[in-house]
Structure 1
Amino acid sequence: MQITVKASRRTEQGTRASRRLRRAGRVPGIVYGGDKAPQPITLDHNEIYHQLNNEAFHASILMLEIDGERESVLLRDAQWHAYKPLVLHVDFQRVSANEKIHLNVPLHFIGAEESPAVKLGGCIVSHVLTEVEVRCLPKDLPEYLTVDLSGLQPEQSLHLSQLSLPPGVEIVHHGEGDPVVATALKVRGEAEGEGGEAAAS
């Protein structure tokens, strides 16, 4: 489902203008990129506040509607008040259908309760990563990646290279090695109990 963000063009800029907008229940923002000049915009605070609390909003191609004109964008940044539930500023980037994009997408974990690690090994599964950066064309962007843990063995880890990816999607990894995505950890009490049984026998 396409998420639509409604906005208006913003002509006044500067700190004072931004304060006036916020007092009026509006949020200043900007959309940039592509072959167009950056466009300052304003958005309804309540609407963008609720959208920012939707996980899919952060990992989807959004339809930005500015005074009736529509263009595809990505959310690039949202600035929040230090301690109040207030959105202070939002940045969007225009996207082209023919250019690959980089975006962090969330990981959704399934199957842990059915895994040998949990059912037979008495382990708990720790999620080391909760999102990964992917590279793909806008049409191939997944809302999230599913991580199947049903085959996880006791004290075994699942690594980034083992994730199943949709067609056209590749993972972008900065750094060396093959990061751990999830790992099955032995519960301390059970590990100690097994040690005690071994000593007693």
Structure 2
Amino acid sequence: MKDLGQLRTALRQKAAEEAAHRARVAAAAQQCERERVLFAQAVGPVTRLRDRGLADVQTPRPEPEARQRLLDEQAALREALSDEVDVETLLLTDDGLSFRRASIGLDVLTKLRRGHWAIQGELDLHGLRRDEARDTLSAFILQAHQHHRRCLRVVHGKGLGSPGREPVLKAKVQRWLAQRQEVIAFTQASGPQGGAGALIVLLGSRVHGHPQARPAFRHPAGV
């Protein structure tokens, strides 16, 4: 008899729980219906669009572009690159003006001159003013490095149209390149690649997202 009493109690408890659950479901349904009616009254009469049988195609979204970060980097580069860096003391005056970091061997320059690496990008600075050329060069080097491009050609011209027919932009480009931490070497282009009007630039590889360390430069007195 005791077991029968416990069973009746359990059955009554289960029935009560089911009744409470049905009541909650009914209340939720009534609430949804009230909200549907209120929405219909607020919106007013509507007409369902005709089903034209079009496929629901999910187009991929473009990758986010950190535009503000790029603008900040460009502003920092404009302030960092100087026209007064004494890069001449770092140039190798052999058969063509060349530059290399202290950790880069002479064999790298030899390979660079001989076209050992394929050109993966080119920038032509003809017709640009100094500030335009500096900003364009900085953005070009930064983008190339971010996309893992190693060998580039920068065309600065021979200065034949400049006053005194002096290649003013050429010297500035050399200074700017020497200050870029991504640049590990550059050399004057061979004849077929542009000769005295262009430079072949080699960028360092990205190691854990960080380029090689930036060396110190000597500035003229008072700068």
Greater strand share, structure number: 1
Superposed pair shares fold, TM > 0.5 = no
Identify the TM-score tier after normalising by the shorter chain: under 0.3
TM-score by length of 2: 0.22
Larger RCO (CA within 8 A; separation ≥ 6): 2
Larger helix proportion, structure 1 or 2? Answer: 2
* TM-score in terms of structure 1 length: 0.24
